[in-house]
Amino acid sequence: MQQFTIIGGRPLVGSVAASGAKNAALPILAASILASEPVTVSRMPRVTDVYTMLRLLQSLGAPQSTISACATAGLSDSAVTIDPRTLTRAAPAARYVRRMRASFCVLGPLLARHGRAVVPLPGGCRIGPRPVDLHLRGLAALGADIRVVDGLVIARAARLRGARVSLIGPHGPTVTGTANVLCAAVLARGATIIEGAAIEPEITDLVRFLNSLGARIDGAGTAMLEIRGVEQLGGARHELIADRIEAGTLLAAGLATCGRVTVERIDPNHLSAVLEAFARMGAEIEVSVDRVTVSRRGRIHPINFTARPYPGVPTDLQAQLMALAVLADGTSQIADSVFPERFAHVQQLRRMGAQSTQRANGVTIRGVQQLHGARVVASDLRASAALVLSALAARGTSHVERLHHLDRGYERLEDKLWSLGANIRRESIPSRDVLLAAR
């Protein structure tokens, strides 16, 4: 087991480049199943979720070299090449699908390519219910016969056919559902219209990737996608967009420590709602074509917001914004319309001195002047980032445990924070089970 040891209280100052977007990489790697020639995806983040997806592709027939290529390439510009001609199986290894929800994105591509797919129901962080009924309903509308047996989704279709599909759910559009149905539709016979499609930049990047393979998709960046099915897709080279969640986390680290941080190689338009939230919290913001700089003077201002689908404040930055709100000069109200139960980090922040009250539809945070160091335990990917931000701002030493959550989506975060002046180091520690057995 690994932990961060962080001595807080240092303002972070400097510039750092954003990695490629993990949330774009995963559906694009899944979509590579559809190609008939090799595809190369660059700016691939070296995070465990990407390794999981590569191993899943290996279980479908991809060679081991795809994992090695990502593991040995440069930190910022690593690339992987997938030869889809080797992907001959239609049933991925269950152990990889159950590790993360995004692995379920292989269902649509497998069904479109092979006419059949057997995929376990997905796993991932415990942040509340995330049903896949919209995925299945959308694929059924394209003509798939779908059954769920003993935790396995079994889908068959001799040839998918175009249809009008609605993906509007109770908590807004489904990002992974949009990816699944979109990938299935590109090889379907005839035209498909997806209504209520997710408009996240990562879906737009997936559309750009598919079109580079030869797909015919219109409406990228809107809630209505029009797909004209083609007989076959080719190969392509594709560079991922920047990770807006990592960028927002690094900028928030600068604000939490009263520093001045610049994140480069990003599209500031992807962070519009987040930058607006930072401004309301008192941040001074400088924006250019491919970078953003944030700083602040004095106390953070309280904020009221609800995390929503894009272009709103993303649920994946809700916890990090809460880490800022606990330092605010006043009371903040935070809710999450995407995952209303995504507040496991609240209890851990209290260990560091945060004052908050959890209620049915969100959290009330009463800001404090200073947090203190503590031993805290990460519960999920984004909660772990919030704990790191709070530890950087706190007085004294903190230990953030269970870094396997953080490593799912952040590429050596400690190296980037260290380059900005943070006193942070990664350490291996015995697991709780080992310690208990030794007593």
Active site residues: 125
Distances (CA, A) of 233 to 61, 93, 137, 366, 395: 19, 25, 25, 54, 56
345, 319 contact by CB (below 8 A): yes
Report which of 234, 242, 231 is spatially closest to residue 40, judged by C-alpha positions: 234
Round to whole Å and give the CA distance between 124 and 310.
21
Round to whole Å and give the CA distance between 87 and 117.
13
Q: At what angle do helices 107-114 and 133-141 cross, to 10 degrees?
A: 20
Q: Give the number of other CB atoms < 10 A from CB of residue 34.
A: 24
Q: Give the number of other CB atoms < 10 A from CB of residue 358.
A: 12
Round to whole Å and give the CA distance between 239 and 241.
7
Question: What is the token pair recorded at 104?
Answer: 């379920």
Report which of 284, 290, 288 is spatially closest to residue 254, judged by C-alpha positions: 284
Half-sphere exposure of 252 (CA within 13 A, CB side): 30
